[in-house]
Amino acid sequence: MAFLITILAAVFQRMTGPTYPIRGEVEFAGSLIQYKFLRSHETGKNYLLSLTVENPEVKGKLLYKRHPTSDCWSSIPLKRKGESLTASLPSQPPAGKLDYKVILSRNGKQITLPPKQPVVIRFKGSVPPFLLIPHIILMFLAILFSNRAGLEALHPQGNPRKLALWTTGFLFIGGFIFGPLVQYFAFGEFWSGFPLGHDLTDTKTLVALAAWILALIAGRGGKPARKWVLGASLILLATYIIPHSLLGSELDYAEVPKKAPFP
């Protein structure tokens, strides 16, 4: 049950987060056009956007601007390569974001993709696997053991003390040793949550750790402290399903010199 809760929470967080690609499909010029727009990309590399559009009469352009700024939209014509229309977004510094959208046209008619609002893509630095993989595994183990401890706390004779210790250890090492290192390589800062910034990922990790430390204190002397453990597990679960990278690191373009191709 603990494993199932962990998997469901992970899938929910992944699919609702601001880094999950935007997908959709639309009928235009007699064909069905499917699209997938990325919202996260590695800095130092232009993002190559590609759409499969079979009708050779369909043309298009890629519009983009720095986010969040009052810049005018820059425009790049989509180039046809067989059945695909392609264009590249310029790479940005770590934590830099771009708004972008695609406009397709044929015989005076046009559509905008995505139809509702522009996509926001954030660029990040490359994180070494020897930091990223342990971070992911430890955070997964933290929520897994937390859920198991919470279920143990529901049992009238349960004693989740050892599970609480393992949970706190995994959370501390994964979130406060490997986490800041991953953050530094990706966005150039070790910590951007409370009280230094508004990064929700960092802040929610801090709240979760504080809850588990309180649960450990309440269980001094080997006491089960079931209510405290259950509360801490629910807090960690609640923070875990908050989309990852929500209100994450964001480059302040006011401190960055404006360069071409931005008008």
Q: Fill in the amino acid letter for 154.
A: L
pLDDT value at residue 263? 47
The pLDDT value recorded for residue 29 is 83
CA 53 to CA 80: how far, in whole Å?
9
Domain total in the chain:
2
Peptide bond into 261 cis (omega under 30): yes
> Which two tokens mark 257?
């010199």
Q: What is the pLDDT of residue 260?
A: 45
| 30 shares its domain with 113 | yes
Q: In terms of DSSP H, where are the helices of 174-199?
A: 179-187
Q: Domain containing 31 — which CATH number?
A: 2.60.40.10
pLDDT tens digits for range 88-136: 999 999 989 999 999 999 988 999 999 989 999 999 999 999 999 999 9
First to last CA, the chain: 55
The token pair at 132 is 């990223």
**Phi, then psi, of 8 in degrees rounded to 5:** -65, -40
- Domain identity same for 46 and 104: yes
Q: What are phi and psi of 152, to 5 degrees?
A: -65, -35
Distance of CA 123 to the CA centre of its chain: 11
**Could you tell me the sign of the dihedral formed by the alpha carbons of 20, 24, 29, 30, in that order?**
positive
Q: Point out the residues of the chain with pLDDT beneath 50.
A: 260, 263
pLDDT value at residue 194: 75
Instruction: Specify the pTM.
Output: 0.81
In which domain, by residue range, is 184 found? 2-13+126-240
At 77 the pLDDT is 96
- 230 and 200 inside one domain: yes
Half-sphere exposure (CA, 13 Å, Cβ side) for 135? 17
